[in-house]
Copies of this chain bind each other. A is one copy, B any other.
Amino acid sequence: MKQFLFVLSLLFALQLSAQTDSEVLDKIYTTSLKEGKSYSWLDHLSNQIGSRLSGSLGAELAVAYTKEELDKLGLDKVWLQPVMVPKWVRGAPEFAYIETSPGKTTSVNICALGGSVATPNAGVKAEVIEVKSIDELDKLGKDKIAGKIVFFNRPMQADAIRTFDAYSGAVDQRSSGAREAVKYGAVAVIVRSMNLRLDNFPHTGNTGYGDLPPSKHIPAAAISTNDAEVLSGMLSLNKDIKFFFRQNCKQLKDVQSYNVIGEIKGSEFPNEYIVVGGHLDSWDLGDGSHDDGAGCVQSMDVLRVLKKIGYKPKRTLRVVLFMNEENGLRGGTEYAKVAKEKGENHIFALESDSGGFTPRGFSFDTSDETFVTKAQQWKPLFEPYLVHQFVKGYGGADIGPLKNDTIVLAGFVSDSQRYFDYHHAKIDAFDAINKRELELGTATMASMIYLIDKYGTN
């Protein structure tokens, strides 16, 4: 019986190799849409485990769960790669209000930014100075800023077509607003949430103090876009209003965590590595379904789907679920370090970290100018699946440390219009996931991995 099954699987593999690429892609898409596992994996990750901030119990459970699921797939090897990660905890829910006159207050929705220090136990209350940029801060100087709460309120640019461009154009307020405001004696910063919609949800995300000594760290929080509008409106009527907030967040000691890795050994070029991955950690407010549970389950399903259709890779395929993208990038850094130490020749790494939305294509980060042209020749293969973007651009944070002269880094590009509605907010939750969109993403990624494995990157 075993021999019979062996012959059968051999025949299956031979049959596959006789297929055209377009037939293989058809098989990949059909399998993803009819027998995909990504949605049910994500259901578990989001609804049974929940948020997965580095160092949290959720992150630990997610490591165990995804390893267990990869173990079931019959890959050649599944293992955990140890990595020490920072542990930041939010503590008790934040509380904030605008005080228009003593005793007259309006509550607003805020959340501590990741990495921020707490306010004093009694909170912080001060006058507010609204700025649109760090430049403006510099122009105002110490006179206008000292003793105040700086309110960064430059909205994401509504007419950027790719919302990631709008994000890049605004996120400096969140990532470095606090450390810049300190220079002028600010007591705290409040940042308009990185969100293109007007709603009530504050969006967290990392902030950094750079080289400032801990004694100089000031608390930083995000305010919902609706409340940013309210605060700005009140300030335009009365510059003397005060803002109060309280948060208990804390940076603890680093703790042990892991990247989760699964591998199918290549039959012809086992030391040529092709990586597909996402990051297993998430922020703590939602359950991280889009950021980046989606990318993780899609990456897992890429290997599963290729196996299911009987594809035997020539090169070694690895799924890597990176730990700690959000507030440290320790997982990506460690993975690249170990790969280098072991002399593993990584030729291609694909990251899915832009949400589980309808796939639009790929952006390639490579010093090999000819590769993008080569990839564009595959466009007709993807046309039936409405995947049309094959451009030079960003790869991904976790795969970034793998960059060298020869590797091609690739970012999976999905429709970005809704991404920042959910990103780092409590509504980044499973009900914002559409099964088909997620599965089409899996198929698109698996198709690219198949083509890279078959034809290489040169």
Contact = CB atoms under 8 A, between A and B. Distances in A.
A435 interface: yes
A333 to B, nearest CB: 33
A29 B159 contact: yes
A158 interface: yes
Interface string A105-141: 0000000000000000000000000000000000000
Nearest to A413: B386
A131 B417 CA distance: 40
Contacts of A360: 386
A311 to B, nearest CB: 18
A235 interface: no
Interface in A195-247: 196-197
A33 interface: yes
Given A358-B358, A436-B196, A30 B384 contact: no
Contact of A421 (B30, B159, B385, B434): B434
Contacts of A162: 386
A355 to B, nearest CB: 13
A418 interface: yes
Given A417-B358, A434-B417, A33 B158 contact: yes
A161 B29 contact: yes
B159 A30 contact: yes
Nearest to A26: B159
Contacts of A417: 358, 434, 436-437, 440
Kindly report how many copies of this chain are found in the complex they form together.
Answer: 2
A196 B437 CA distance: 12
B435 A418 contact: no
A386 to B, nearest CB: 6
Interface in A385-424: 385-386, 388-389, 415, 417-418, 421
A159 B385 CA distance: 10
A34 interface: yes
A36 to B, nearest CB: 9
A386 B29 CA distance: 22
A441 to B, nearest CB: 11
Contact of A434 (B30, B158, B418): B418
A444 to B, nearest CB: 11
A169 B34 CA distance: 16
Contact of A384 (B161, B197, B418, B440): B161
Contacts of A29: 159, 161
A146 to B, nearest CB: 36
Contacts of A418: 434, 436-437
Nearest to A439: B158
Contacts of A434: 417-418, 421
A358 B416 CA distance: 9
A386 B436 CA distance: 20
Contact of A34 (B30, B159, B358, B440): B159
Nearest to A163: B436
Nearest to A160: B33
A437 B415 CA distance: 10
A161 B358 CA distance: 11
A435 B159 contact: no
Interface in A137-171: 158-159, 161-163
Contact of A161 (B34, B385, B415): B385
A436 to B, nearest CB: 5
Contacts of A34: 158-159
A263 B358 CA distance: 36
Interface of A: 29-30, 33-34, 158-159, 161-163, 196-197, 358, 360, 384-386, 388-389, 415, 417-418, 421, 434-437, 440
7 contacts: A29-B159, A34-B159, A158-B436, A161-B385, A386-B389, A417-B440, A418-B437
Given A161-B440, A197-B435, 14 more contacts: A30-B159, A33-B158, A34-B158, A158-B436, A161-B385, A163-B436, A196-B436, A358-B358, A358-B415, A358-B417, A360-B386, A417-B434, A417-B437, A421-B434
For the complex of A and B, list the 9 residue pairs with the smallest distance between their C-beta atoms, beginning with the closest: A33-B159, A30-B159, A388-B388, A417-B436, A33-B158, A417-B437, A34-B158, A358-B415, A358-B417
